[in-house]
Structure 1
Amino acid sequence: MNNNETVLDVTASEKALITIIPPIIGAILGWYIPTILEWIIKLPFIPFQGILEWLATLESNWIPIISTILGGVAGIFFSNFVFHEILKIIVTDEEVKLNIRKSVEIFKKREISSIYMEGKQLVFLNREGMELFRGHPDYKRQLIIEAFKEHHYPWKEEDPFEDEYQRWVPGHPGLPQYVNALLAAREQALIDEETKEAKILRKDLAKLGVVIRDNGKRQYVRMAKR
């Protein structure tokens, strides 16, 4: 942090834990793979049981060593995945910079009318009430609030358009047919747990001025001012 910048990122100790712990756990699990396999094949309705039984019958001093190495490598990949998914937030008096998945998004303070937390998600709205950003930061809520308030951003305790959401149902009479079609496709994606597809459809709908709030598999919507 300097006089004009607040950075929300994992600490050095957290980075060390993320780097070290998964490979260690992976290596330990790998060492005990033969014992774990013997326990798994006793469970009913296990897929690929024949292959698992064959693996469990292999007798070699190299098996635990190889599985330990593979477990450690899997842990390293998992650590890299975690780092890849962490949202880094840099707040200044003029803009917010968001770093995630090797991409950078920048939002000028003048573009933002509201910032709030919806559950564990951080949301930015523009002056028309449309979503500029929605993401899941891995930091305590209070740290996030303090970072934005310190730089005088319009922090809200809840969605300022809270009362405008309506439960979406197929053929919603207040929405155009093409919007209902996209919402129907998104609801099916939620039911099928196709998270990536649901996110893409949310962005497509946002371009049309549709703001969505999810409650389980249900969608609540409002139209932003255009």
Structure 2
Amino acid sequence: METIIDEPRWVRRGSWFGCPLGGALLGAGLYAVAGWVVSLAWFPMQGPFKLIVQIPRPWGLLGLIAVGLVAGWLFAAVWAEQRLIVTVAPGSVRLQRGKKKRRIEAEVTAVFKDDKELVLLGVEGRELVREKADLAEADLAKGFTEHGFPWQDEPPAER
């Protein structure tokens, strides 16, 4: 039996809807404030805002909403590709980030989070793995301890 530690389902699925929606709202908001920004002589980088104001309605608004949707979708795709999935089984740990997979079957003497990184130490304190992980520390601790790995709440002291 193995334990899979991943972001919650609502985050994984919600990002595919929330990011494009947020991008579309930002595009619409940008269109809404462009005229006001152009009226402020002191505001820097007015060129893009002047360009937006010159695009006839409704094409400027629709264009910015479309750009926001695409940007949000691309953001969600990058987020999904960078997500770390940890699979813990007795005697082995698998890490997956996008298409890149890694399996650790060496003796693990300590597992902990060091700031935002998951760290697995081997014999003599040798670092086997150090991966950026936004996963909840409680979920990681539970998954590793269920399979007999030595979870530590804090990084061990330097030797």
- TM-score, normalised with respect to structure 2: 0.87
CA–CA separation in structure 2 for the residues paired with 1:36 and 1:45: 12
* CA drift at 1:40: 4.0
Structure 1 residue 81 corresponds to structure 2 residue 83: no
1:130 and 2:126 are equivalent in the alignment: yes
CA contact (8 A) 1:27 1:69 kept: yes
Give the residue type in structure 2 aligned to 1:154.
Answer: P
Measure how far apart 1:55 and its partner are.
Answer: 2.6
1:95 & 1:84 partners in 2: Cα distance?
Answer: 23
Aligned AA (2:84): L
Tell me the residue number matched to 1:46: 44
- Within the alignment, does 1:69 sit opposite 2:69 as a pair? no
Name the aligned partner's letter for residue 4 of structure 2.
Answer: V
Q: Distance in 2 between matches of 1:140 and 1:30?
A: 32
Whole-Å Cα distance in 2 between the matches of residues 75 and 93 of structure 1? Answer: 39
Alignment of 1:210-225 (within 5 A): none
The higher relative CO (CA closer than 8 Å, separation ≥ 6) is in: 2
Matched, 1:120 2:125: no
Amino acid at match of 1:64: L
> Gaps spanning 5+ residues in structure 2: where?
none
CA contact (8 A) 1:116 1:157 kept: yes
Q: CA deviation at 1:155?
A: 1.7
* 2:107 match: 111
Letter in 2 for 1:66: G
Q: Which residue of 2 aligns with 1:13?
A: 10
Per the TM alignment, residue 39 of structure 1 is displaced from its structure 2 partner at its CA by 4.0
Q: Percent identity?
A: 26
> SS of the residue aligned with 1:32?
helix
Aligned residue type for 1:157: D
TM-score (norm 1): 0.63
**Structure 1 residues 7 and 60, CA gap change in structure 2 (3 angstroms):** same
In 1: Cα distance, 2:47 partner to 2:134 partner: 41
Residue 20 of structure 2 is aligned to residue 23 of structure 1: yes
1:58 pairs with 55, 59, 81, which one? 55
Distance 1:89 1:44, change over 3 A: farther
Asked if structure 1 preserves the Cα contact closer than 8 Å seen for 2:37 and 2:43, the reply is no
Q: CA deviation at 1:159?
A: 2.5
Q: Pick one of 135, 155, 158 that aligns with 1:159.
A: 155
Q: C-alpha distance in 1, partners of 2:118/2:41?
A: 42
Matched-pair contact (CA < 8 Å) for 1:32–1:64: no
- Shift of residue 102 of structure 1? 1.5
